Structures are given as structure tokens and as C-alpha cells.
Amino acid sequence: MLKTASLFLAAALVSLPALAGVTVRSCDRDVTFDAPPQRAVSNDVNLTEMMLALKLQDRMVGYTGVSGWKTLDATLREGIGELPELATKYPSKEVLVGADADFYFAGWNYGMKVGGEVTPETLAPLGIKVYELTESCIHIMKKDKASFADFFNDIDNLGKIFAVSDRADKLIAGYKARLAEIEAGVDPKAAAPRVFVYDSGTDKPFTAGGYAMPTALIEAAGGKNVMDDLASSWATVGWEAVVDRDPEVIVIVNYGDVTAEQKRQFMLDNPAFRNISAVKNDRFAVLEYVEATPGPRNIEAVAKLAAAFHPAAK
């Protein structure tokens, strides 16, 4: 009897690590974590802010992919404290290994490229597990259009991975409540303005398609993305398509060396755009990069867009 009990106890102890682990879905993969990561790296400002919202600074060894394209604003600078930027743009495998990272939070075209040097497959042999930004999964698999469910899913999964689901649940509940409050202020009978997202480019514009987060922001604010039938997230289109679809509001994404005002002036000064309603009426709205990409600032971005789309609303 004693021998049988000992064997049962030994079997139970052997199974404990599996019971303590957690498995999450990352794009088309199941990723299992036997214990919460202790040396995490995040790429880009929006993904880093998700980590900060969950108060995971003490589990991080650094971040990547911010200053090479964008300014480190006061909110992020205060949140990251003394954490180093390990690479100004996309990190190499050597950078992540050199930081002794055990976890990389990134996305496709947010720190990783399909077929590139840094992917979940190339990092796995190095002991670095990857969780992929849900919005970016469209680059490797079929998925639904962008929605706030994508953002909430990432917060929920990060909560599970780092064993802080209580924090994640509170954040999601707060985000949903505030979003519902903003949406309640949008008159459902008001006409939805046609909206074009102008990210960058002069010869051809880089814009948000149906699978990019701005589509969800625009719809929540009572508008319609004129490029929501573009079966991609962020992509380049021709100016002819923009002119043909005649947006009533142009949302400029502000980042990089060309300012939002310079982008606005480019459109106002170009004779080819003079018949676009948004240009004729000088109806432009500006979102910072961190507001236009999946992250905690998406919620108040909806309020900003709603005010721009429906200025007469109280």
C-alpha cells in the first residue's frame, strides 16, 4: 500500500510542470509556456505599451523597433524606465540572444518578416518563444477583419502567458466600458462619412485595408474606411482609387520624418486631389502611430475620430 502511494505521488510530481503551464493560440500555432517568461522583449511602441499596461516591466530586458521610425513620447519613456532599446528597428537573432531573451512579443511586419531571419521557427531552437500580434496574423493565414476583439485577445493571452490574468481582465473590462461609452455617443442614424487613411507615400499612398486596426477604429467612430475591401492590413494603393472613392475625411497617421501637417499640405496643394471632398472641405484628422496600431491608446483614438466625423454631435 505504501509503495503504491509513493508511486502515485511520484507520478503526480512529474506531471506538475505540465499542470502549471499554459497554452495560448498565436496566429496558427499553439504555444505552451511551462512558466511565465522572465526576460521578455517587445517590438514597436504599441506592443511595448501593451506590456506596460499589464505592468510587466520587471519581466522585460528591453524593447526594439521604436526610435528607428518614431519618437519615444513621454508616456512610453516614463513607462519603460531604464529598459534599453536593444535595436532601433527590427532586431536580429544575435540581438535577442545577446539579451538572453526568453520571450519575444512581435508581429508580422511588426518586428518579423515572412521568410525573414527572425521568426517563431528560427527563434525556437534558441529557447525564445514568440507570441504574435493578432492583427498581423493576416500575413500568414486567413482571419476575420480587424476588430477590437484582436486587441482584447492579445491582452488576454499576455495575461495568461505572464500569469497576470487578473490584471488583464480588469484592463479589458475597463476598455470595453469606455468603448461602449464612446460608441453610445455616436448617433446610429448619422450618415457614416467615407474615410481614407493616409499613412505615407507621395507617388503611391500607404494605407489601412480591412485587416488593419484603423478600420475597427473608424467603424466604432461611425465612419467607413473606403479601403475596407482591401484584403490586407497595411498596403500600397494607387491615388486613382482614392480619387474615385472620394473620401469625405482623411485620417493622417503621424510618425516619421514627414509630419502630419506636411502630408495634409501635400494633398491640399496637389491639383490631382482638388475634387476629393475631404480636400475641398479641408477635413483632416490626425492619429499618432501608437493610436492607429493595436494597443491601449486605440480606445481614446475612437473618441478623437468620432469628434472629427460628427462635429455637430454633442
Please give the pLDDT value at position 77: 79
First-to-final CA distance of the chain: 76
* Percent over 70 (pLDDT), the chain: 93
- Here the cell at position 179 is 468603448
Domains of the chain, start order: 12-176 (3.40.50.1980), 188-309 (3.40.50.1980)
Please give the pLDDT value at position 14: 44
- Here the cell at position 73 is 513620447
Please give the pLDDT value at position 188: 87
Q: Report d(CA 185, CA 298) in Å as an integer.
A: 17
Q: What's the mean pLDDT when you consider all of the chain?
A: 92
Interval 145-194: pLDDT, tens? 999 999 999 999 999 999 999 999 999 999 999 999 999 999 888 999 99
Is the four-CA dihedral 76, 206, 267, 286 of positive or negative sign?
negative
| Size of the chain, expressed as the number of residues it contains | 314
Q: Report d(CA 20, CA 8) in Å as an integer.
A: 18
